[in-house]
Amino acid sequence: MKKYLPFRRSMRIIGEKRTALDTARSRITIVSALFVLGFIMVGVRVVDLTFIQGEMQEFSVATGSGHSRVKEDKDIPRGNITDRNGILLATSLRTASLYADPAIIANPKEAAQALVNILPTLSYGDLLQKLQRKARFIWIKRNLTPDEQFAVLSLGEPGFSFQSEWRRIYPQGPLAAHIVGFTDIDSNGIAGIERSFDGLLEDGASDLKLTLDIRVQHIVRRELERAIKDFNGIGGAATVVDLSDGEILAAVSYPDFDPNDIGAADDKSKFNRLTLGVYELGSVFKIFSSAALLETHGVPLSTGFDTREPLVRGRFTIRDYHPEKRVLSIPEVFMHSSNIGAAMMGEMVGTQNLKDFYEDLGLLSPLSLEIEEVGRPLVPEPWRDLSTLTASFGHGIAVSPLQMTVAAGSIVADGTLIRPTFIIPEGVTGAPKKQPEIRIISPQTAHRMRQMMRLVVTDGTGKNAAVSGYRVGGKTGTAEKPDARGRYDRKKQISSFIGFFPMDAPRYAVYVMVDEPKGTKASFGYATGGWVASPAVRKIIEGMAAVLAIPPMDLPTAQDLSAPLRKYVHDDKGAKHLASFGTD
Amino acid sequence: MSRRKARVSVLLALVIAVLAGTALFRVSQQVQTAEDAERHLRISVASEKEAIRVLDAEWDYLNRPDRLEKLSQEYLNMQQPHTEQIEHTPAVLPDVMSPVIEAQTIALDKGARTPMRVPYPRTKPQRQQPRDFQRLLDDVAPAAGGAR
């Protein structure tokens, strides 16, 4: 018996005693054992596949239905862009794109007809031509709506399939279209923030928070649109900048477009007038020439400028729109917006000084901004003495409206340079480092400028911008547009108003510009900055105050910022004010 | 080694092998089930996330300022406040109602730990005590012409 035990035998050291029979038997045993093992494994696997895994698969199909569209994949959507309060400005949603495999479409005519009924934007002929091609993959329509997808699915045509894709959606529509920008169909940013932050957004790791506040943005857009429509303008731009940190709360260019439907937008609508467009902005530049004069020469405000006669330099004559025909003090030149007076101030400042001053304010080079649509200023080249005269009242030099707002803001906000930004610094640990301040004018000059701008609203050309309780100050601007031959056209103007509030400690800059407004009955035929843009600024400030909960505060007239300047104002109204001071 | 012992060891080895095989099979099944469940959870999380994305987008789309403005003009009898309507100097306003129960300062032991909850004065009136019948009669009597 002993020799029949296979295990023992196999363990025995091979020797001469082994017979051929033993060898054969052990081999048969081993082979049959292997076979038995093999069959057991097959049996177990069959049980596994049919009962265990098969049942589970059915279970998973039952529970997983409805999720089948969502693949658990690694494709991460493009990052969102939000406003400062986290309201979505751009997001990506998964949509289905329809493609066809013509090789397995039995009846192209029928399929094409059925598809055209569902998707009316497609043309039957074009579709039929595509479906009869000898290809295996043809895009039919990208980014279908769920309803369309359902209708196509219910056709039951095996040749139609879907590929899920991310589609860029802009819930706010045209509201901030120029700043947010847009992407192409493959979600590559091609304009605005979408373009300049393409790499970061593509990673999809985090949302990008802009400084815009869509509530303010909406108010600004509404009022700009109203001003343009009321005065039949061809376009315009408006912005609100927080002077405390340079954050841009609202940035509007009009006409605008719906980034969800880029194909329908024309180039005029896509053009960003606020940052890319450069314009001769006119009298608002008197802020800069006056500041330059006060800063470089320190002249008293009572210094007189004779505006009785037009200023003739070479073959050029500088005139006033509404000549006062008398000797004006500096505040008077400013509040009546006298071109002659401003040109004389420029002459006093001197060409090099004025040029340096504009350079310091960043008016001679493109603004540094987070979007790529930034216009290069048009600067007189070469800069002659005459250019100094015209540049003093904003002609012969073209800058973008945002650039002008920022430069004027820098003067008003105590004379230190403001750096505009669209992005809120986030995820930075520790307190944000305060940027070193760059002083352009002295606090004294800044104070004088604030007083003068307040005077413009209390007594001058910007009365329409006054909002009770918010102490608005600012400067109107009405510039004639040059035509194709470089001649100024009296009828084509750019009317604007730069407003600041509250003027004694300016926090917000509000700028509105309307391109080619036409006078109306209500404005007595005027289409100047004071009639067109000032009321819009007033309405924006009223709306902003309500939204941002800025409490109003009244000051008696005698304590108003402009009160000390009234002694330099010599017209009848000024005299009246002086009289009232006596009794106050 | 005896034959009996050998047979026992063989049987033991077989039993252990079968047990080990079964255990391994069970574990592998459990792993598969767990992996499957995990996959489903992942898919449903992804699906929920996508649903949230869609709802977020829709919420912000429906709350566009221009739409809200239009709706409020259409359905609400309200307007944006004008700056003239806001009292510019709050000091001139009459004082608001004083609270029903005056706030009391709570004296704390210097050594004691800060209590977790400090009761704050309620502005709501306390529930009235149920009156007894006699008092009710007394209250009613004068109106009825003086029963007593």
pLDDT digits (tens, 9 = 90+) for A83-142: 999 999 999 998 889 999 988 888 888 888 888 888 888 888 888 888 888 888 888 888
pLDDT greater than 60 at residue A148: yes
Higher confidence at residue B105 or residue A84? A84
Looking at residues A515-543, what average pLDDT do you find? 89
- Closest residue in A to B47 (Cα) is A70
Question: Who's near B87: CB < 8 A, 6+ residues apart?
Answer: B93
Segment among A358-362, B16-20, B100-104 with least mean pLDDT: B100-104
Closest CA to A77 of A190, A147, A180, A169: A169
Looking at residues A326-345, what average pLDDT do you find? 89
Taking CB atoms and an 8 Å limit, are A542 and B57 in contact across chains?
no
Domain A81-209 sits in CATH at 3.90.1310.10
Query: Is B58 within a domain?
Result: yes
CB-closest option in A218, A467, A554 to B65 = A218
* Per-residue confidence band for A573, with pLDDT thresholds at 50, 70 and 90: very low
**Most confident stretch, A32-41, A96-105, B134-143:** A32-41
Residues 151-210 of A with CB under 8 A from B: 169, 171-173, 175
Chain A residues closer than 8 Å to B57 by CB: 88, 91, 93, 169, 171
3-class secondary structure, B19: helix
Task: Domain A217-424+446-557: state its class.
Answer: alpha beta
Q: What is the pLDDT of residues B86-97, one digit of tens each?
A: 777 766 776 666
CB-closest option in A70, A88, A172 to B56 = A88
* Per-residue confidence band for B141, with pLDDT thresholds at 50, 70 and 90: low
Taking CB atoms and an 8 Å limit, are B56 and A91 in contact across chains?
yes
Taking CB atoms and an 8 Å limit, are B88 and A554 in contact across chains?
yes
Output DSSP code: residue A322.
S
Domain count of chain B? 1
Q: What is the pLDDT of residues A353-406, one digit of tens each?
A: 999 999 999 999 999 999 999 999 999 888 888 889 889 998 889 999 999 999
* Per-residue confidence band for B4, with pLDDT thresholds at 50, 70 and 90: confident
User: Structure tokens of B112?
Assistant: 């004691």
- Closest residue in B to A545 (Cα) is B83
Mutate one of A72, A212, A217, A252 to test the B interface: name it (highest B CB count within 10 A). Answer: A72
| Tally: H helices and E strands in chain A | 20, 14
pLDDT greater than 60 at residue A542: yes
Taking CB atoms and an 8 Å limit, are A91 and B25 in contact across chains?
no
Mutate one of B69, B79, B88 to test the A interface: name it (highest A CB count within 10 A). Answer: B88
3-class secondary structure, A89: strand
Which pairing describes strands A208-209 and A81-82: parallel, antiparallel, or unpaired? parallel
Q: Which pLDDT belongs to residue A207?
A: 85
**What is the rounded distance in angstroms from the CA atom of residue A409 to the CA atom of residue A500?**
8
Tell me how close the Cα of A237 comes to any Cα of chain B, in angstroms.
Answer: 19
Q: What is the pLDDT of residues A181-235, one digit of tens each?
A: 999 888 889 999 999 999 889 887 778 999 999 999 999 999 999 999 999 999 9
- Cβ atoms of residues A287 and A449 within 8 Å: yes
3-class secondary structure, A90: strand
- Cβ atoms of residues A411 and A446 within 8 Å: yes
Chain B residues closer than 8 Å to A219 by CB: 65
Q: What is the pLDDT of residues A231-262, one digit of tens each?
A: 999 999 999 999 998 999 999 998 999 999 88
**What is the rounded distance in angstroms from the CA atom of residue A118 to the CA atom of residue A111?**
11
Q: What is the pLDDT of residues A274-292, one digit of tens each?
A: 999 999 998 999 999 999 9
User: Structure tokens of A133?
Assistant: 């091609």
Looking at residues A554-560, what average pLDDT do you find? 81
Q: What is the pLDDT of residues A482-500, one digit of tens each?
A: 877 777 877 888 999 999 9
Question: Who's near B131: CB < 8 A, 6+ residues apart?
Answer: B139
pTM above 0.95, yes or no: no
Q: What is the pLDDT of residues A410-467, one digit of tens each?
A: 999 888 999 999 998 876 555 556 678 889 999 999 999 999 999 999 988 888 999 9
Number of alpha carbons in the 13 Å side-chain half-sphere of residue A467: 32
Rg (CA), chain B: 40
Closest CA to A539 of A225, A328, A79: A225
Any idea where the domains of chain A sit in the sequence? 2-51, 81-209, 217-424+446-557
Rg (CA), chain A: 37
User: Structure tokens of A279?
Assistant: 């314009």
Taking CB atoms and an 8 Å limit, are B80 and A543 in contact across chains?
yes
Q: Which pLDDT belongs to residue A384?
A: 86
Which pairing describes strands A88-100 and A81-82: parallel, antiparallel, or unpaired? antiparallel
Tell me how close the Cα of A264 comes to any Cα of chain B, in angstroms.
Answer: 20
- Structural domain of B49: 3-75
Q: Which pLDDT belongs to residue A565?
A: 85
Query: Is B18 within a domain?
Result: yes
Closest CA to A251 of A429, A403, A428, A26: A403
- Closest residue in A to B58 (Cα) is A171
Task: Enumerate the active-site residues of A.
Answer: 283
Closest CA to A238 of A421, A541, A511: A511
- Cβ atoms of residues B53 and A77 within 8 Å: yes
Taking CB atoms and an 8 Å limit, are A53 and B32 in contact across chains?
yes
Tell me how close the Cα of B9 comes to any Cα of chain A, in angstroms.
Answer: 11
Higher confidence at residue A428 or residue A54? A54
Query: Is B55 within a domain?
Result: yes
Closest CA to A64 of B59, B7, B42, B50: B42
Q: Which pLDDT belongs to residue A68?
A: 43
CB-closest option in A66, A70, A552 to B46 = A70
Q: Which pLDDT belongs to residue B98?
A: 62
Is-cis flag, bond preceding A6, omega within 30? Answer: no
Tell me, yes or no, if B6 comes closer than 8 A to chain A by beta carbon. Answer: yes
pLDDT greater than 50 at residue A578: no
Tell me, yes or no, if A92 comes closer than 8 A to chain B by beta carbon. Answer: yes
Looking at residues A545-574, what average pLDDT do you find? 80
Tell me, yes or no, if A58 comes closer than 8 A to chain B by beta carbon. Answer: no
* Per-residue confidence band for A567, with pLDDT thresholds at 50, 70 and 90: confident
Tell me, yes or no, if B73 comes closer than 8 A to chain A by beta carbon. Answer: no
**What is the rounded distance in angstroms from the CA atom of residue A302 to the CA atom of residue A548?**
39
Decide if the complex's ipTM is over 0.85: no
Q: Which pLDDT belongs to residue A509?
A: 95
**What is the rounded distance in angstroms from the CA atom of residue A204 to the CA atom of residue A256?**
27
Closest CA to B56 of A566, A77, A73, A486: A77
Which stretches within A93-145 are classed as H helix?
108-118, 124-131
**What is the rounded distance in angstroms from the CA atom of residue A349 to the CA atom of residue A112?**
75
Is-cis flag, bond preceding A401, omega within 30? Answer: no
Burial tier of B110 (Cβ tally within 10 Å: 0-12, 13-18, 19+): exposed
What are the respective helix, strand and coil percentages of chain B, to the nearest 5? 60, 0, 40
**What is the rounded distance in angstroms from the CA atom of residue A480 to the CA atom of residue A385?**
21
Tell me how close the Cα of B40 comes to any Cα of chain A, in angstroms.
Answer: 7
- What are the Cα distances from residue A207, in Å, to A89, A165, A194, B59? 11, 20, 12, 17
